[in-house]
């Protein structure tokens, strides 16, 4: 916020200075600050019911699609927290489609490179966890079929059916 309130009460036993303080702004950066605030809010069970989860979900999916590197990983981390605390209808799972396409592309490349074993990239691991947890969550909520249809293209469904 932009306001800080302090209330000092003297016991009148001394007339000299008793308190002195300086307030300075932090400079973590907008992304890091927003990430830390959202992470903390999503960790507080009593706060979650008061959050506009649908809107936060939409923003975070957009951030995860646009950002790269550590910022993308942090956005995916927040998406994971939202999925875990959401109820039916809080999250528009169709918004995950671009991240699903990125994940399936990474999976296909991994399958083609089986000759040289390696460690999964942090992004690949983060997306795998996001989609694993999301699939389990929608299964619990009884909307697995809608979720799977939302992530896949009609062409992909036709290819799977043909196989």
Q: Where are the alpha helices (DSSP H) in the chain?
A: 30-42, 53-66, 69-85, 97-112, 122-141, 144-151, 154-162
pTM: 0.73
Domain limits, the chain = 30-152
Q: What is the pLDDT of residues 104-139, one digit of tens each?
A: 888 888 766 555 555 568 999 999 999 999 999 888
Write out pLDDT tens, residues 14-50.
766 667 777 666 655 678 888 888 999 999 999 999 8
The whole-number pLDDT of residue 111 equals 66
Rounded distance between C-alpha atoms, residue 77 and residue 64, angstroms: 10
Give the C-alpha separation, 115 to 99, whole Å: 26
């Amino acid at each position: 916020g932009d306001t800080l309130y302090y209330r000092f009460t003297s016991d009148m036993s001394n007339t000299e200075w008793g308190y002195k303080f300086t307030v300075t702004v932090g400079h973590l950066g907008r992304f890091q600050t927003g990430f830390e605030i959202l992470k903390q809010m999503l960790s507080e069970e009593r706060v979650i019911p008061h959050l506009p989860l649908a809107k936060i979900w939409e923003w975070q999916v957009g951030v995860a699609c646009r950002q790269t590197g550590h910022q993308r990983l942090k956005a995916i981390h927040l998406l994971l927290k939202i999925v875990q605390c959401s109820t039916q209808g809080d999250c528009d799972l169709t918004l995950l489609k671009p991240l699903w396409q990125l994940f399936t592309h990474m999976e296909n490349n991994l399958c083609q490179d089986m000759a040289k074993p390696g460690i999964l990239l942090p992004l690949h691991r983060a997306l795998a966890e996001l989609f694993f947890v999301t699939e389990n969550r929608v299964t619990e909520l009884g909307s697995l079929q809608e979720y799977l249809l939302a992530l896949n293209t009609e062409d992909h469904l036709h290819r799977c059916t043909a196989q």
